[in-house]
C-alpha cells in the first residue's frame, strides 16, 4: 500500500493519515472530514448474545471496539518537562517527514517531536496537519498525524485553529471489535499542545 516517499509523499497515507477523504484505521465508522464519524474509543457495546465475560470463548478485547493509548500523559509531562525535541518538523519536507513516521515507525518510536499545523478533528480523533496539493488519489485535503492530549480543546476550531504540538511518538492498539485482530496505530503523546497567535504556511508541497 505504501510505495514511495517521493512519488506519492502523502496520498499513500489514505488509510492512515490521509489527504482529503480519509478513513481512520482506528474504527470502520470513521470517515471523511466533516462527516459523522464514531470513535472506537467511545464505543463499548454489550457482549454478544449468548456470551459473557466469564466465557472461555469470549474475549472482551476482541469483541468490544476500543483504542488503547498505553501511556500516561500527566506522568510523562513531568518526566520530560525539560526535554528538547529530537525532531522539529518544518515547512520543507513536511509531508515527507510524516510519511516516514508511518513507513519507518520503529526508527522514530519514543522520539520527541515538534510540529505545527491546523487543529483537525475526524470523529473523536484529534490531528495536527496542513493542506497538501492534489494528486490522482487525493482530493486536496490534509496531511496530518494524530495527537493525544489531556488539555481542554473546547476553544479550538477544526481547520481554523493553528497549533503547535510537542510530544512523544507512541504506538497504541486498536481493537476493532467483532472478533477482529487488534491493530497498531501511531500517534503523538502531547507533552504540550498550544494554540498559536499566528498561522504558518498552511499548504505544503513536499
Transcribe 143-194 into DSSP letters.
EEEEEE--S--TT--TTT-EEEEEEEEEEEEEE-STTPPPEEEEEEEEEEEE
Give the pLDDT of residue 29.
28
How far is 171 from 188, CA to CA, in rounded Å? 9
Give the pLDDT of residue 134.
65
Nearest Cα residue to 166 out of 73, 88, 75, 68: 88
Rounded mean pLDDT of 79-93?
95
Give the pLDDT of residue 116.
97
Which residue blocks in the chain are alpha helix, DSSP H? 60-63, 73-79, 94-103
Question: Does residue 106 carry a pLDDT above 60?
Answer: yes
Confidence band for 59, pLDDT divided at 50, 70 and 90:
confident
Mean of all residue pLDDT scores within the chain: 77
3-state secondary structure of 107: helix
Question: Does residue 63 carry a pLDDT above 50?
Answer: yes
Question: Does residue 8 carry a pLDDT above 80?
Answer: no
Rounded mean pLDDT of 119-135?
88
Instruction: Of 20-34, 71-85, 96-110, give the lowest mean pLDDT range.
Output: 20-34
Question: Does residue 55 carry a pLDDT above 80?
Answer: no
CB atoms within 10 A of CB 166: 21
DSSP class of residue 183?
Answer: E
The domains located in the chain, with CATH, are 62-195 (2.40.50.140)
Helix (H) or strand (E) holding 194: strand 183-195
Give the pLDDT of residue 179.
85
Question: Does residue 113 carry a pLDDT above 80?
Answer: yes
3-state secondary structure of 12: helix
Give the pLDDT of residue 149.
96
Nearest Cα residue to 159 out of 192, 129, 124, 196: 129
Residue 189 falls in which region: left (phi positive, over 0), alpha (psi -120 to 50) or beta: beta
State how beta strands 162-175 and 66-68 pair: antiparallel
Show the cell assigned to 98: 510524516
Tell me whether residue 105 is exposed, middle or buried, using C-beta atoms within 10 angstroms of its C-beta: 0 to 12, 13 to 18, 19 or more. Answer: middle
pTM score: 0.74
Question: Does residue 43 carry a pLDDT above 70?
Answer: no
Give the pLDDT of residue 38.
27
Rounded mean pLDDT of 131-154?
81
Give the pLDDT of residue 56.
57
Give the pLDDT of residue 136.
54
3-state secondary structure of 34: coil
Amino acid at each position: 500500500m505504501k510505495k514511495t516517499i517521493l512519488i506519492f509523499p502523502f496520498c499513500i497515507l489514505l488509510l492512515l493519515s490521509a489527504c482529503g477523504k480519509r478513513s481512520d484505521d482506528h474504527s470502520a465508522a470513521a470517515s471523511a472530514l466533516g462527516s459523522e464519524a464514531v470513535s472506537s474509543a467511545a464505543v463499548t457495546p454489550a457482549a454478544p448474545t449468548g456470551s459473557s465475560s466469564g466465557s472461555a470463548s469470549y474475549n472482551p478485547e476482541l469483541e468490544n471496539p476500543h483504542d488503547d493509548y498505553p501511556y500516561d500523559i500527566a506522568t510523562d509531562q513531568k518526566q520530560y518537562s525539560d526535554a528538547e525535541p529530537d525532531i522539529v518538523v518544518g515547512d520543507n519536507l513536511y509531508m515527507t517527514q510524516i510519511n516516514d513516521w508511518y513507513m519507518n515507525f520503529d526508527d522514530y518510536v519514543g522520539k520527541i517531536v515538534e510540529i505545527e499545523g491546523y487543529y483537525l478533528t475526524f470523529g473523536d480523533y484529534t490531528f495536527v496537519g496542513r493542506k497538501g496539493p492534489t494528486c490522482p488519489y487525493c482530493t486536496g485535503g490534509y496531511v496530518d498525524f494524530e495527537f493525544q492530549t489531556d488539555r481542554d480543546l473546547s476553544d479550538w476550531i477544526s481547520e481554523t485553529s493553528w497549533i503547535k504540538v510537542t510530544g512523544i511518538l507512541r504506538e497504541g492498539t486498536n481493537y476493532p471489535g467483532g472478533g477482529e485482530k487488534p491493530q497498531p496505530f501511531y500517534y503523538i503523546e502531547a507533552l504540550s499542545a498550544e494554540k498559536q497567535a499566528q498561522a504558518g504556511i498552511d499548504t505544503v508541497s513536499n
